Chain A
């Protein structure tokens, strides 16, 4: 993901939910949104969204707090 953020490992963004964070980041790092968002409010296939240590089922619609940590991680299948 660092290729999307000019090599930055951690970036700060504002928003009330993950989608708003992504849109805020896209303003500073063009292309960020298209890497994460498939259509409208859906996360691209293969990506899991982690908010404050939980893989969240609402994806982009999950609310975030002022100090929330958000991660985009590869989806992992089990057997």
Chain B
């Protein structure tokens, strides 16, 4: 991995300190959801629907309640109807709380295999499971619909008689019984294709996939005598869980305290309340603390995966390589409730290229699967799988180098997006040039080996963050944010605090606060924490320095305007003898007005776009269709890499997940809508044996929206791999792949079709 040179002016940013939570995590001291225990704790077990689509006729809990040791049972009837229909999640994103409440526990209908119908609290987990099995639920089983094309076809089973199609997009129209539609356009699509010398058109399908976080969902709830509930949980956003629990359980937000524990992966799947409202209601009914643990099977069956899709794509270019038209129709699974990532999938499909004539059509389609949720750059991997392959095909037909083809059309700073507004500073051309210059791009290949390149885009997010800094008398600093640490962000935030304060990073002690201890923050999502919470930290540090400068002025009996602060050194412009370093001044705060602390809540508006490219070499076994990954080089623009090793780790993790998506991972449902592979033996994520060392090249095009130039990095690495592998397979054996995952059977079928066509 290359390491960017530490630019002049930075002392801490750009270095690779040891993470403060590392030792706790490798020694088992860190407290994850299942490590948490509390006196008098009961154990919950959730009863889930065995049907993918059914009406609940009745639920009889009497037998279960008679079992000794059973302390409480809840059903949908124990939950009120949410009084708040929508909850804002920043930047226009919203949760439909009626749907969220129905997703937590079914009221009248179940919409997917594994949908919750009841929950039990008992003295031990086995008893709770036994009691759950005694609950008698009568269903009227309905036919399920399991894929987008079937769900959009005339006569398809209808999931919801009415639904709110506006929950995720303003002009979305409910056009079909199970689908909403959005459309974006620019230019004149017919004119664009008329101008094209070369046109390619293909259809693509992708299967439902899970984020695959290793720690499942686990939480514990306890009430106190004042009617307040505390929930210890594994989550990407303590405040998001608080807000959802408060609304679903009809509680004032101030009566819900959510304490985030260490998190064993999230990737977008842990910003939603699944078991927390169940644990809270069970604990209330039992008047005892209750812990609920989701098994792996439950996690796969009933949390929010990333949608399966059907994409029809057509693109045209001139002979000189100029893209002139793109016409895409994308249908994404929404799951049992509306609001999958269709908007993001649609918008990211072509955003990184200048195409004058465009029509983008997106369908959000209800199917009898769990409610779809974000997964690292939600929707972008699927849409890039289609678009990047068509671009490769266009370049091939024109006879142009695929990187040169992309360079000719790449969006540059100030170019207008399909959304209309001009791109903020962006380094797409620099990134593609780096791909072209890398030795990997021209390295020799053998028979049945191929190389693919794909170029990915993600918007990133700003959203609200908070930070608090307190200066100790010895010059060390306590830092508290509400941003759950998924990837080492407590260190990248501490580094930014140290940089701003002019002190060593070891002198900043970072913690992740709970909802009663620190200001509001939205979730750790959208690759935003080092960027947005970093701005909150830097702004807070500036407040601290400002107050400390006032104290220095008091001590030196001069005006605060005379105090200069640089790299943690306070000086008096009018008296060279007056000089304090940070620690010396910290020692005097108690006697100059008391300790100094500051807090900031920010919502940054200037988010830096994320770009990534991947070079991947594969070898195809033409007898079995198995594809082996031989070599990977990932390129990413980090804006400013605060901790380059962490950036590389994010890139490697995202690429590894993308390779799993490309080759192996998929939900397998039978005709009745039962998930057949609800274990990690059968839901095949890649292991170290499947993935070679992923080399990482970090580029730095500063984001002017952050004081140090930071862009988010966590999501976009997952975007290019599926497309890059498909292109590599094409370059190895000459077939175009149109389905994810590209498992051996699919590749072998393509090889057979190719041989049959050649024979004919």
Chain A residues proximal to chain B, CB less than 8 Å? 1-4, 9, 35-36, 43-50, 53-57, 69, 71-79
CB contact between A78 and one of B171, B211, B377, B424 (< 8 Å): that residue:
B377
Q: Name the residue on B nearest A52 (C-beta).
A: B421
Query: Is B405 on the interface with A (CB-CB < 8 A)?
Result: no
A50 CB, nearest partner CB in chain B, Å: 5
- The docked-state distance in angstroms from the alpha carbon of A73 to that of B459 is 13
B167/A79 in contact, CB under 8 A = no
CB neighbours (8 Å) of B374 from chain A are 77-79
Rounded to whole angstroms, the CA-CA distance of A67 and B121 in the bound complex is 62
Q: Is B462 an interface residue (CB 8 A)?
A: yes
Cβ contact of B421, chosen from A46, A71, A76, cutoff 8 A: A71
Known: A44-B170, A55-B91, A76-B343. 16 other contacts (CB 8 A): A45-B88, A46-B92, A46-B170, A71-B419, A73-B92, A75-B91, A75-B93, A75-B168, A75-B343, A78-B377, A78-B459, A78-B461, A78-B525, A78-B527, A79-B268, A79-B375
Q: Is B629 an interface residue (CB 8 A)?
A: no
B682 interface residue per 8 A CB criterion: no
In the complex the two chains form, is A46's CB within 8 Å of B168's CB? yes
The chain B residue with its CB closest to the CB of A72 is B170
Which B residues touch A55, using CB under 8 A? 91, 462, 605, 607
Determine if B420 and A71 form an interchain contact, defined as CB atoms under 8 angstroms apart. yes
Whether A35 and B421, one on each chain, are in contact in the complex, defined by CB atoms closer than 8 angstroms, is: no
Interface residues of B (CB under 8 A from A): 86, 88-89, 91-94, 166-172, 182, 185-186, 211, 267-269, 341, 343-344, 347, 373-378, 419-422, 424, 458-462, 525-528, 603, 605-607, 715
- Return A67 CB to nearest CB of chain B, in Å: 13
Do A75 and B419 have beta carbons less than 8 Å apart?
no
The distance in angstroms between the C-alpha atoms of A46 and B344, with both chains bound, is: 12
Contact residue among A54, A69, A74 (Cβ-Cβ distance under 8 Å from B347): A74
Tally the A-B contacts, defined by beta carbons under 8 Å: 112
CB distance A57 to B603 under 8 Å? yes
Name which residue of chain A comes closest to B87, CB basis: A45
Contacts of B268 in A (CB 8 A): 78-79
CA separation between A45 and B419, bound complex, in Å?
A: 18
Whether B170 pairs with A47 at a CB distance below 8 angstroms is yes
Q: Given A71-B419, A76-B344, A79-B375, does the pair A45, B526 have CB atoms closer than 8 Å?
A: no
Q: Which of B86, B343, B715 contacts A74 (CB 8 A)?
A: B343
Assembly CA distance A51 to B436 (angstroms): 36
What is the CA–CA distance of A55 and B373 in the complex, to the nearest angstrom?
23
User: How far apart sit A52 and B52, CA to CA, in the bound complex (Å)?
Assistant: 47
B560 to chain A, nearest CB (A): 31
Please measure, in the bound complex, the distance between the C-alpha atom of A48 and the C-alpha atom of B715, giving whole angstroms: 21
Report which residue of A35, A36, A77 has the largest number of chain B beta carbons within 10 angstroms of its beta carbon. Answer: A77
Say whether A78 contacts B167, CB under 8 Å.
Answer: no
For the complex, give the distance between the alpha carbons of A79 and B269 in Å.
7
Contact (Cβ within 8 A) A48 B91: yes
Verify A50–B421 contact, CB threshold 8 A: yes
User: Which secondary structure characterizes the binding site on chain B?
Assistant: loop
A47 to B343, CA, bound (A): 11
Distance A72 CA – B88 CA, assembled complex (angstroms): 17
Task: Check if A77 sits within 8 Å of B525, measured CB to CB.
Answer: yes
Contact A69 B526 (CB under 8 A): no
Q: Is the CB of B605 within 8 A of A54?
A: yes
Q: Ordered nearest first, which 3 A-B pairs have the shortest CB separation?
A: A79-B268, A78-B526, A75-B92
Which chain B residues border A45 with CB–CB below 8 Å?
A: 86, 88, 92, 94, 166-168
User: In the complex, what residue of chain A is closest to B373 when comparing beta carbons?
Assistant: A79
With both beta carbons as reference points, the residue of chain A lying nearest to B343 in the complex is identified as A74
Complexed CA–CA distance, A59 and B192 (Å): 35
Give Cα A35–Cα B169 distance, bound, in whole angstroms. Answer: 11
A56 / chain B contacts, CB cutoff of 8 Å = 605
Q: How far is the CB of B237 from chain A (nearest CB, A)?
A: 12
A53 to B605, CA, bound (A): 9
B165: min CB distance to chain A, Å: 10
Q: How far is the CB of B265 from chain A (nearest CB, A)?
A: 12
Min distance, Cβ B490 to any Cβ of chain A, angstroms: 20
Q: Which residue of A lies closest to B94 (CB)?
A: A45
Which residues of A are found within 8 Å of B378, using beta-carbon distances? 77-79
Q: A34 to B743: give the CA distance in the assembly, Å.
A: 48
CB pair B605 A44 closer than 8 Å:
no
Hey, which chain B residues are within 8 Å of A53, CB to CB? Answer: 421-422, 424
List of B residues within 8 angstroms of A79 by Cβ: 211, 267-269, 373-378, 525-526, 715
A75→B607 CA distance, assembly (Å): 14
Q: By the criterion CB–CB under 8 Å, are B171 and A76 in contact?
A: no
Pull 21 A–B residue pairs with CB atoms less than 8 Å apart, ordered by A: A3-B171, A35-B170, A44-B170, A45-B88, A45-B166, A46-B166, A46-B170, A46-B172, A47-B170, A48-B92, A50-B419, A55-B605, A71-B421, A72-B170, A76-B343, A77-B344, A77-B526, A78-B374, A78-B458, A78-B460, A78-B527
A55 to B607, CA, bound (A): 8
Closest to B527 in A: A78
Give the CA-CA distance A50 to B421 in the complex, in Å.
8
A20 to B92: give the CA distance in the assembly, Å: 19
Q: Which residue of A lies closest to B185 (CB)?
A: A2
User: Are A74 and B92 within 8 A (Cβ)?
Assistant: yes
Q: Is the CB of A78 within 8 A of B715?
A: yes
User: In the bound complex, what is the Cα–Cα distance between A21 and B270 (angstroms)?
Assistant: 38
**Complex CA–CA separation, A44 to B164 (angstroms):** 13
Partner of B169, one of A43, A71, A74: A74
> Complex formed: what's the CA distance from A47 to B91 in Å?
8
A45 to chain B, nearest CB (A): 4
Q: How far is the CA of A54 from the CA of B419 in the complex (A)?
A: 12
